[in-house]
Every structure is written in C-alpha cells, then in structure tokens.
Amino acid sequence: MQRQVALERDTALDAPAPPARGRRTVLTPYYLLAPTLLFLAVFFAWPMFQALILAVQDNGRFSLGPLQRMADDVLFWEAIRNTILLTLIVVPAQVVLALIMSLLLVSGLRGAGLFLYAWAIPLGISDLAAGVVWLSIFNDRGYLNSALAGLGLGQTGFSFLSYEHPVSMFLAVAVAETWRATALVMVILLAGLQVIPKDYAEAAEVFGATTWQRIRHVTLPMLRPSLQVALIIRTILAFQAFAVVVALVGRNLPVMAEEAYRWYGDLRNPSVAAAWALLIMVFSLVNTVIYLRALRVRDEQLA
Amino acid sequence: MAEIRLERISKTYAGGKAPAARDVSLAVADGEFMVLLGPSGCGKTTLLRMLAGLEYPDTGRITIGDREVTDLPPRQREIAMVFQSYAVFPHMTVFDNVAFGLRMRKQPADQIKPRVERAAELLQLEPYLGRYPSQLSGGQRQRVAVARAIVMEPSVLLMDEPLSNLDALLRLQFRAELKKLVQDIKTTTVYVTHDQVEALSLGDRIAVMRQGEIVQVAEPMVVYDRPTTEFVGSFIGNPPMNFLRGSVSRDNGHARVTIGSEALTAPTALAEAVGDNVLVGIRAENIEARAEAPSGGANGAGHALAGETVVVEPLGSHLLITAAIGGQQLKVVTRTDFPTGPGRPIWLYPEEDKIRWLRPDTGAAVQV
Ligand SMILES: Nc1ncnc2c1ncn2[C@@H]1O[C@H](COP(=O)(O)OP(=O)(O)O)[C@@H](O)[C@H]1O
Ligand SMILES: [Mg+2]
C-alpha cells in the first residue's frame, strides 16, 4: 500500500512534459513585455509617427513647407538658443546639486531621512504649480522684492521678470526649473548610490583616501550608470521645458516647446507645431547618443 | 612594523542587544601573526574594524606602535586591510587597484610602478595587471586584494576571513602561500577567521573569542592541547575534544574521578574537591584503544575505561570510533586495522598528561 502511494507520487512528479515547459520559458518574456510594448506603441510610437507625417505635408500632400515656415520664423533661432542655454545652465546645476544632496543623504548624518522628504517635495508638484509658486516669489510685488525691501535694498521693487531685464528674467526661469526637477535627479542618483556596497568606500578610506578623493576616484566612477540615466532623462526634459517658462514669463522668453504650442494654438497650424515637436525629438536623440557614448561604461568595468 | 595594544575595549552597536566587544584586552607583538578565531557573530569583525578605524570603541584604548589611534580615522593609522568581500574596485585595472593606496598617499609615479610590480610578482599577478577584476577568477581577485594591501608596506596588516569565499582546494593552496608571504614580509598581522584549521595552520598565536570576549590567547598547539575552557576545547579540533562528566572521590589517599562505573586517577590538586563534579577533557587521538580486557583484574591497569563501541567510521588514514562509557559518548582515533564493531567491548587508555580537568559550572580549567 505504502509502496503504491510512493509510486504514484513519483509518477506525478515526473508528469509535467518537458516540451510544454520548454515552450513556456521561450515565450514567457514576450508575454510579460507585451502590455508595455502595446502601451508604448499606442501612446508613443503612433502619435510620433502621426506627428512626423503631419510635419511633412501641406493640405494632404507631401511638402517641406511646414519645416520651411518653422525655420523662417523670427523666433526660430531665439527659441533654440534659449532652450539650449537653459539646458546648459539647468542640467549641470541640477546634477551637481543632486549629487551633493544624495551624497549627504547616504553619509549617515543624523536627520538625513528628514532631508530626503523635504527635498522630494518638488517631485509631487506639477510644472505649472511650480511656475506659479516661483511667480509669487519673483514678480514685482513678490516675496523676493519684499525681502529686498525689508533689507533696505531697493524700495521700488525690481521687475525681475520683465523683458527689459533679460538676464534676471532668464536666471529666474533657470532657478525655478532647477528647483522643480533637481529632486528627480537626486532620486536617481540616490538609488544608484545605495546599491554601491559600502565596502568600496571603506576600502578607499583604509587605503588613505580623503573624503574628496574617495568621491572622485571611487564613488563617482561607480555611479556612472546612474549619472548617465539621470543626464539623459534630465536633458530630454529640459528640451521640453514649457509650463514653468509660460507661468513665469509667458512669451518674453520663447523656448522650443512653447513655439510648438504657439503654432498649434494661436496660429492654428498643426503642421508647423509638429515640425517643432520633430525638432525637439531630434535634439533629444542626438543628445542621448552623445551621453551614451561619452559616459559609456565598459562591461568589464562593472562589478 | 608595530605592536598593537587593545586595552579594555568595549563596543555595543546602536540597536544591538548584546555588546559586540566586552572589555577586550589584547597585545600583538611586532611582526606577530595573530588570529582571531571564533564562531560567527562573536565579534571578530567588529574588533578588526575598530583596529582599522572603521568603527570606534565605546570605551578603551587602541595603540599601534607608540601612537594612540583610538579616535583616528583609518587613513591616519598606517594600516592596510584585506576585506572578506575583497572590495577590489571594479572600475580599475589590477594595476590601478594595487596602486590605489600609493596614489592616494601621493607617492611619486616613478616609485609606484616598481612597487606595484613587485607586489604583483609576489602574488603572481603580473600577467593580469592590465585586466579588470570582472575578468579574473575569485582566487585572482583575492590576490589583488592582498597585493593592494602589502604594497603599502603597512605597520599593520588586517585580514577579515580572506579565504572564506574561495573553494576548498584553492583555499588550501592559498593558505600556504599566504603563510609564506606574511612570514617573508614580517608585518604585524591580525587575521580573522571562524575556521579553526586555518587558525591553527596560520597563527603565531590564536585569540579565541566567544560572545564579544577573548577566552584564550596562546600558541596554536597550546590552544589545541590545553584549552582553558570547554568552549575552546570543543570549538577547536576535528573531532572536537571529548568531555566526560565525572565526580571526584578519594581512594587510599588518591583523588579519583568516577565516570559511571569507571574511574580515573586524578591529579592531587583535585583532592580537595571530593564530591564535586568535574569535566574530563581528552582529544580523540590522545586515547589508546584496546580490544582486549587489561590483564591483572578489572581496574588493575590504572587508567583503563571499559566501554562499548557504538559507531565505526573508516576515514582513510584512520578509524574514528564512537564509544560509550557509562552512558556518555566519546570519539577515539585508532589504526585502520583495529578489530572492533558496534556492540563490542572496548578498553580506552587516555594519555595521562593530555587530560584536561575542568569545572563544569564555569567551564574553566583546573590548574594542575
Ligand atoms: N553594523 C552593525 N549594527 C548592529 N549590530 C552589528 C553590526 N555589525 C555587527 N553587529 C552585531 O555584532 C555582533 C558581532 O558581529 P561581528 O563582529 O560581525 O561578528 P563576527 O565577525 O565574529 O561574525 C553580532 O551579534 C552582530 O549581529
Ligand atoms: Mg565577520
């Protein structure tokens, strides 16, 4: 009787036929990928394709007219220049700030956890709301002017956001943009820092590295994959800067995404708007390729 | 080159229930190879990290050479360390890894190269200097970790279970190499391991630890032959030391220890302890086994203990016999041709001078 049971159990264990198992392991990853792929296809690839078509047609026929109109516009070069300038200032500032913040968070200082929450607040605020918050700081009767008046500097108030003061206007936008998205970079870098085993930092210390040497020769090189991701994501988002700019200075500082919006809304020309969108995408792609090459981590250098 | 002194070191981790080090004092002589040995979690790594400056003691003093280093950060201690995980930098070549410490200390480049090459030569790493750690085997990575440490010519070399991540064969081979290497460079070394064989084979002295305390510090053979506590005797040696429970009695003016129906002559120091219980410690290889009853009566042959064979395990070079005496089991090593089998009687003769007498309440040795 007992032997019978044992026998049955053995055959039951043998039962799953190898071919079925084989098929499952081959196809399983694709099943699991399918929902994501479908989502990307419907909401990203298809609209992108449509925009591409839209950008190269006029009245239903193929034409380079929209691209031409975009390039001939008086604001074309200004928008590109402003966007690039903003990116060149905001992205490095964010990376440096985020690096300092995340290094402080992992340093084990007392109360570091509290800072994480405070620093993550901008993540939960929409672009437009962030723009409005900074507007209340920078406008003619804003907090900044009140503070300056309180300190006895300039009773009349300074129009930071006026087109008559392009530098202060630009810097105000840069500060607001930096504030808004530094947290995103910080979260990526923090995640990267947390997976670096602490043995490496300890080895660096034991072998004589100062804090700065340790960061420079051990932490940063090992953080390279995360830096790469953060830079790519942040730069792409910087090319798309829009809501904060609009909320703070409106048309006074034309940027690329704003131009797309203007052509689509005010000028009712979806084709030129699509051309702008296409241009932003080209910028993003070129930039991503540059980062991937410049910060490439060779396989053999990974832990 | 330096001696190390730990004076009354205590440490409890924040959130830790028990102290990881309790009032530990230890002196390591200049050039000595000291092994910290103990079961997992007994505080070996903690002690080593306090020496390195990666943890700080709650109380106590640490001196290296003639400098007090208790509160100094690691880089001011002139130490080098081999980590259990190797911690070889993955983004640097073998050369850069070995050169790391010299570069951090701003040695001139023309001195770094020959020193790195010399260290690489000692550890047979020359062919791999241009490779990255991910292109090396575990054993080679371990060599890089050791080369990175010895190239510094540190006053003190610290190693935390450096062989524990290697497979058995490699471990055996590297153990001997490491011993030769450290003998050659004559650096004061503190070596952490939970492997008693490693400790016996490598150490000039062994500090046996238990629950944050050092239980015994002595040369390997002394720790092995003359454990001061039951814990040390059973932790070191394979098989562990046998411990039999007995009680002290007096017979014709001589102290005797009876184990079940059997009796052993005991040292006179035990004579005052009549009626007390005592632990009799004896190693398996220090017992002579015979298959026939001693001539001249039951207890005529002094130290013979009559028992019964329970299990016989042939282990190639010898037999490991588990025997029972008055309900207590013990292990005995014999020649492979020893005639016995389960259930057969056996007579055991412990070597008198190898017996350890311990108090069962404290587990501590009786001085004889
Ligand atoms: N960072 C830490 N925080 C809290 N407790 C720790 C920490 N490191 C070790 N311990 C505890 O201290 C004791 C000693 O640990 P350790 O020195 O690592 O032992 P060993 O190296 O002998 O295995 C253990 O009980 C361990 O759980
Ligand atoms: Mg340990």
Same domain assignment for residues B248 and B345: yes
In a shared domain, residues B271 and B214: no
When divided into structural domains, chain B yields a total of 2
Cβ A301–B148 below 8 Å, yes or no? no
Q: Is the confidence at residue B300, as pLDDT, over 60?
A: no
Say what percent of chain B tops pLDDT 90.
73
The enclosing domain of B18 has a CATH number of: 3.40.50.300
Burial of B204 (0-12, 13-18, 19+ CB in 10 A): middle
Model pLDDT, residue B303: 64
Q: Residues of A35-57 as b/e, b for ≥16 C-beta within 10 angstroms?
A: eeeeeeeeeeeeeeeebeebbbb
Residue B155 shares a structural domain with residue B203: yes
- Answer yes or no: is A162 within a domain: yes
Contacts of B216 (CB under 8 A, 6+ apart): B206, B207, B208, B223, B227, B228, B229, B232
| A217 vs B: CB within 8 A | yes
- Asked if B187 and B270 sit in the same domain, the reply is no
pLDDT at residue B169, as a whole number? 86
Closest residue by Cα to residue B168 from B208, B141, B128, B195: B195
pLDDT at B368: 62
- CA atoms of B58 and B46, how far apart (whole Å): 12
- The answer to whether residue B96 sits within a structural domain is yes
Residue of B nearest to A222 (CA): B91
* Cβ(B228)–Cβ(B215) below 8 Å: yes
Give residues with Cβ within 8 angstroms of B34, minimum separation 6. B4, B26, B28, B188, B189, B190, B191, B203, B204, B205, B206, B207
Co-location of B26 and B111 in the same domain: yes
Query: Which is more confidently placed, B360 or A210?
Result: A210
Per-residue pLDDT, A27: 85
Phi-psi label, residue A192: left if phi above 0, alpha if psi -120 to 50, beta otherwise: alpha
Q: Which two tokens stand for residue B12?
A: 């409890």
Q: Are residues B202 and B148 in the same domain?
A: yes
Same domain, B199 and B291: no
Residues contacting B318, CB < 8 A, separation 6+: B333, B334, B335, B336
Give dist(CA B287, CA B355) in Å, integer. Answer: 10
Residue that is last in its domain, among B169, B198, B226: B226
Domain enclosing residue B31, as ranges:
4-226
Range of the domain at A201: 75-302
- Neighbour count for residue A6 (Cβ, 10 Å): 9
Beta carbons within 10 angstroms of residue B365's beta carbon:
20
**Which pair of structure tokens corresponds to residue B114?**
């020959």
Evaluate whether residue A69 is within a structural domain. no
Confidence at residue A4, expressed as pLDDT on a 0 to 100 scale: 46
Residue B234 lies in a domain: no
> Residue B174, Cβ neighbours under 10 Å: how many?
19
pLDDT band per the 50, 70, 90 thresholds, residue A23: low
For A137, A172, A292, B42, the CA distances from A151, given in Å and listed in that order, are: 16, 20, 48, 62
Q: Are residues B290 and B214 both part of a single domain? A: no
**Residue A243 above 50 pLDDT?**
yes
Contact pairs from chain A to chain B, CB under 8 Å: 70
The predicted model gives B216-242 an average pLDDT of: 93
| Radius of gyration (C-alpha) of chain B in whole angstroms | 25
Could you give the CA distance from residue A292 to residue A285 in angstroms, rounded to a whole number?
A: 11
Question: Domain for residue A39, yes or no?
Answer: no
Q: What pTM did the predictor assign?
A: 0.82
Residue at B119 is within a domain: yes
Q: Which residues of B touch A (CB under 8 A)?
A: 52-54, 73-75, 79-81, 83, 85, 87, 89-91, 100-101, 104-105, 131-132, 134-135, 148, 152
Q: Compute the average pLDDT of residues A82-111.
A: 91
A22 has a pLDDT exceeding 90 = no
The yes-or-no verdict on residue A49 having pLDDT over 60 is yes
> In this structure, are residues A94 and A178 in contact, taking their beta carbons and an 8 Å threshold?
yes
* In a domain? residue A191: yes
CB B160 within 8 A of CB B51: no
Answer yes or no: do A207 and B75 touch at CB < 8 A. yes
Examine residue A56 and state whether it is found in any structural domain, yes or no.
no
Q: Which of B148, B165, B167 is nearest to B157 (CA)?
A: B148
Is residue A250 domain-resident?
yes
pLDDT in tens, B22-57: 999 999 999 999 999 999 999 999 999 999 999 999
Residue B251 and residue B165 share a domain: no
Q: Say if A228 falls within a structural domain.
A: yes
Please tell me the distance from the alpha carbon of residue A265 to that of residue A274, in angstroms, as a whole number. Answer: 12
- The ipTM estimated for the assembled molecules is 0.85
Q: What is the DSSP string of B59-90?
A: EEEEEETTEE-TT--GGGS-EEEEBTTB---T
Q: Are B158 and B51 in contact (CB under 8 A)?
A: yes
User: Between A166-194 and A224-239, two packed helices, what is the crossing angle to 10 degrees?
Assistant: 150
Domain edge (last residue) among B165, B198, B226: B226
| Nearest atom in ligand 1 to B36's CA | 22
* Pairing between β-strand B262-265 and β-strand B242-251 as defined by DSSP bridges: unpaired
Asked whether residue A265 carries a pLDDT value surpassing 70, the answer given is yes
More confident residue, A155 or A32: A32
* Gyration radius of chain A over CA positions: 27
- How far apart CA B121 and CA B99 sit, in angstroms, is 14
Q: Model confidence over B128-151: pLDDT tens digits?
A: 999 999 999 988 999 999 999 999
My answer on whether B219 and B246 are in the same domain is no
Contact of A237 with A64, CB cutoff 8 Å: no
Choice between B274 and B171, residue whose per-residue pLDDT is larger: B171
CA distances from A23 to A12, A16, A19, A32, B284 (A): 20, 12, 6, 14, 58
Q: Phi and psi (nearest 5°) for B191?
A: -125, 125
Residue A137 has pLDDT above 70, yes or no: yes
**Which residues, at least 6 apart from B85, have a Cβ–Cβ distance to it below 8 Å?**
A197, A199, B165
CATH assignment of the domain containing A159 = 1.10.3720.10
Which residues in A lie closer than 8 A to residue B13 (C-beta atoms)?
Answer: none
At B241-298, the pLDDT tens digits run 999 999 888 877 788 888 888 888 888 777 777 778 889 999 999 999 998 887 755 4
Q: In what order do the strands lie in the sheet with B254-259?
A: B262-265, B254-259, B242-251, B277-282, B356-358
Confirm if A271 and A66 have CB atoms less than 8 A apart: yes
Q: What is the pLDDT of residues B184-203, one digit of tens each?
A: 889 999 999 999 999 999 99
Q: What pLDDT is recorded for position A103?
A: 93
Domain-embedded: residue B236: no
DSSP helix/strand/coil, B247: strand
Q: Is B24 helix (H, G, I), strand (E, B) or coil?
A: strand
Composition of chain A by helix, strand, coil, percent to 5: 80, 0, 20
Residue A122 placed within a domain? yes
Q: What angle do CA B308, B312, B313 make, to 5 degrees?
A: 155
Count of structural domains, chain A: 1
The DSSP H or E segment spanning A12 is: helix A2-14
**The pLDDT value given to residue A7:** 42
Distance from the Cα of A209 to chain B's closest Cα (Å) equals: 5
Q: Give the mutation target among B11, B35, B46 for probing the ligand 1 site: most ligand atoms within 8 A of CB.
A: B46
Band of residue B75 on the pLDDT scale cut at 50, 70, 90: very high
State whether B92 and B159 are in the same domain. yes
What's the longest Cα–Cα distance across chain A?
101
Q: What is the pLDDT of residue A241?
A: 87
Domain CATH for B246: 2.40.50.140
CB A238 within 8 A of CB A283: no
Where does the pLDDT of residue A295 fall: very low under 50, low under 70, confident under 90, or very high at 90 and above?
A: confident
- The average confidence (pLDDT) of chain A is 86
User: In the 3-class helix/strand/coil scheme, how is A210-273 assigned residue by residue?
Assistant: CHHHHHHHHHHHHCHHHHHHHHHHHHHHHHCCCHHHHHHHHHHCCCHHHHHHHHHCCCCCHHHH
Q: Find the helix or strand (DSSP H, E) in which B15 lies.
A: none
- The residue nearest atom 18 of ligand 1, judged by CA position, is B45
Q: What is the largest CA-CA distance in chain B?
A: 82
Ligand 1 center from residue B42 Cα (angstroms): 7
B229 secondary structure, DSSP code: B
Give me the pLDDT at residue A12, please. Answer: 43
Q: How far is the CA of A257 from the centre of ligand 2 (A)?
A: 57
Q: Does B172 lie in the same domain as B76?
A: yes
With respect to residue B366, please indicate whether it lies within any of the assigned structural domains. Answer: no
Nearest Cα residue to atom 26 of ligand 1: B41
